[in-house]
Amino acid sequence: MSKRRVVITGLGVVSPNGMNVSNFTTAIKNGTSGIRFIESLNKLNFSCQVAGYPIYNKEYLNNYFTDIELRGLNASGMEYGVIAGVDAWQHAGLSRNTSNTPLWDVGVIFGTGILGVDKFREAIYKVDDGKVRRLGSTTVTQTMASGISAFLGGMLGCGNIVTTNSSACSTGTEAILMAYNHITNNQAEIILAGSTSDSGPYVWGGFDAMRILPYKYNHSPTAASRPMSASASGFVPGSGAGALVIESLDSAQKRGATIYAEILGGHVNSGGQRNGGSMTAPNSEAVQRCIQKAIESAGIHADDIDAINGHLTATAMDPVEIYNWSTALGRKHEDFPYINSLKGMIGHCLAASGSIESVASVIQLKNDFVFGNSNCDDLHPKIASLINSERVPTKTINFSAKIMAKASFGFGDVNTCIIFKKY
């Protein structure tokens, strides 16, 4: 029995280098960085004082929240997620449900790693001062992990699955695949899928304490994030949100929707923190198996993949990731697909990374280009020994990829790989 075909009909993004799909497309095509020096990190004695985060005026939120909803709002991840989610919904040509009946075939799967850190901090001080009654009625919504999916589900009037997943850096990619599986199993027609991540020192501080962030680029922030580079010295923290409207092909065709790409399949697994895997390092066998199972799920051959948008965080694990791709695909040197990493432009947006990077993957498929790898003129020699340097473009190239693989690998030794196809 053939699977239902599933497509992407809407995109939304809140990124350090673009607050909407149009600006984001221009930015990734031109190699525009959203990484900046952050004065507050300097004042707090962070070793790494650069980061990527979305910039907008608070008045911009009036386009997405009512006055009542804005009252007491102090959760950057909630803001990012709602903006990206609503934009994706509108991008898909859909309108908000204003009736009293929920949309029974429409759902939300929107992930996060942590939500409302600043709101937590505000609440802790009030509680410690004995001012519990001054917390406000929105504190719970802004600090519970599922607040983002609940908020979007209520705004859109969704009556199907409304849930939040959390799997570290794999969160966004996993949410998309969860939506795909829900639709292929005839359990929904449309699902808004994506992920968001808070920004700021209370999110990034733990990573700085682990000494896995770069500290030599505080005076040259755009050079700090260097995926696949020999001079990479750690990932630059980032934040934002990405959202995609995932829809059955039947539903999309019935309403005459624009289709941006098709999802062929994917796979989620874990290395069990065995065989080299740990809380912070991947089990290479599991990564390879995840990629191979995704290809099998998609019903394609490894040779069909034209391009890869990797996880590739600008750490010592980048050469290991390339080795895993090469081994899983059985392809190397000039036979290897084009590969790129968005993190050179925006940093590692943690739980939001997979969704933002999936939006970038779909944009590349739709618009026939492969964006360049920022700060990778000095390709790591271990990577160069596996694949030809031209497969790691440093500038955007015009290329009509038919199939692109997108993978994310997260803390806890968890993996997700999705196969997108040009429609």
- Report the Cα 368 to chain-centroid distance in Å: 21
Per residue in 314-357, pLDDT tens? Answer: 999 999 999 999 999 999 999 999 999 999 999 999 999 999 99
Predicted confidence at residue 1, as pLDDT, reads 56
Indicate if the pLDDT at residue 74 is higher than 60: yes
CB of 116 within 8 A of CB of 145? no
- Which of the 8 DSSP states describes residue 58? G
Predicted confidence at residue 323, as pLDDT, reads 98
**Phi-psi bin for 314: left (phi > 0), alpha (psi -120 to 50), beta?**
left
Per residue in 179-218, pLDDT tens? Answer: 999 999 999 999 999 999 999 999 999 999 999 999 999 9
Indicate if the pLDDT at residue 140 is higher than 90: no
Predicted confidence at residue 266, as pLDDT, reads 98
Helices and strands (H, E) in the chain, number of each type: 15, 14
Q: What average pLDDT does the segment 226-249 reach?
A: 98
- Which of the 8 DSSP states describes residue 163? E
Cα–Cα distance, 292 to 273 (Å, whole number): 19
Is 1-423 in CATH node 3.40.47.10? yes
Q: Which amino acid is at 212?
A: I
Q: What average pLDDT does the segment 246-255 reach?
A: 98
Predicted confidence at residue 134, as pLDDT, reads 77
Cα–Cα distance, 370 to 384 (Å, whole number): 19
Query: Helices 318-329 & 284-298, crossing angle to 10 degrees?
Result: 40
Looking only at the bridges linking them, the beta strands covering 338-340 and 307-309 are: parallel
CA nearest to 357, candidates 197, 201, 249: 197
Where would I find the beta strands (DSSP E) of 186-260? 190-197, 240-248
Indicate if the pLDDT at residue 291 is higher than 80: yes
Q: How confident is the model at residue 265 (pLDDT cuts 50, 70, 90)?
A: very high
Q: How many other CB atoms are found less than 10 A from the CB of residue 367?
A: 13
Where would I find the beta strands (DSSP E) of 81-173? 106-112, 162-163
Indicate if the pLDDT at residue 155 is higher than 90: yes
Cβ-based neighbours of 411, under 8 Å, separated by 6 or more: 168, 169, 279, 280
- Which of the 8 DSSP states describes residue 103? B
CA nearest to 360, candidates 342, 345, 343: 342
Predicted confidence at residue 139, as pLDDT, reads 83
Q: How many other CB atoms are found less than 10 A from the CB of residue 173?
A: 32
Q: Where are the domains of the chain?
A: 1-423
Cβ-based neighbours of 187, under 8 Å, separated by 6 or more: 160, 161
Per residue in 34-66, pLDDT tens? Answer: 999 999 999 999 999 999 999 999 999 999 999
| Integer-rounded Cα radius of gyration of the chain | 20
More reliable by pLDDT, 125 or 47: 47
Cα–Cα distance, 102 to 190 (Å, whole number): 13
Cα–Cα distance, 30 to 212 (Å, whole number): 28
Rounded to the nearest integer, the mean pLDDT of the chain is 96
Long-range CB pairs of 119-128, under 8 A, 24+ apart, other chains included: 119/74, 119/75, 119/143, 121/202, 122/74
Burial 215-246 (b: 16+ CB within 10 A, else e): eebbeebbbbbbbbbeebbbbbbbbbbbbbbb
Predicted confidence at residue 316, as pLDDT, reads 95
